[in-house]
Every structure is written in C-alpha cells, then in structure tokens.
Amino acid sequence: MKKILQLTAVIEQEGDGYVSTCPELGIVSQGKTIEKARLNLLEAVEGFFEVASPSEIRRRLKRKTYVMPLMPTVPALAKQTARGA
C-alpha cells in the first residue's frame, strides 16, 4: 500500500537556475526553471523512498522541521527608504 506524504519544497534562484530542497529529508536538487527544480526534487525524493530502509525513512521523517516567517530589522534598507532611494 502506498502512502502519500505532504513535504516541503524550498526553491531558491541561484545563478541562472534554481536549487530545490526538501528540508524534512535533507534532499537537494536543481533545475533550469522553478518547475524543473520542483520535478527534479520530487524525483529525488521518490528515489530516496525506493532505496532507503524503513528505519532510515522513519529516522528522517521524525526530525522536526518548522517553517515560519522571519522579520529581521535591516537598518541599511531603512536608511535608503528614508532618503527616497
């Protein structure tokens, strides 16, 4: 029986391509477009599930991953805004 999980894909532009990460599993991939990076990550994650032992899958999925907003104060940007830049 197959189980469908909802995991996180974090995709960041790097150079002329994109890097995709699944933080829950610690798996990284890449692609020339956002969609290709997502699809390559999905393929890497599914490949991991095909070859990893049940204990390795459980170990990685037990790790707690928290995704939340982070709102730092950036003085250099505030100064530019105040000057009208």
- The number of folded domains in the chain is 1
pTM for this prediction: 0.78
Q: Evaluate whether residue 3 is within a structural domain.
A: no
What range does the domain containing 38 cover? Answer: 10-82
Sign of CA dihedral 26, 31, 35, 40: negative
Q: Evaluate whether residue 5 is within a structural domain.
A: no
Per-residue confidence band for 27, with pLDDT thresholds at 50, 70 and 90: very high
Could you list the beta-strand ranges (E) of the chain. Answer: 10-14, 17-22, 27-31
Tens of pLDDT, residue by residue over 52-71, are 999 999 999 998 888 889 99
Res. 80: pLDDT tops 80: no
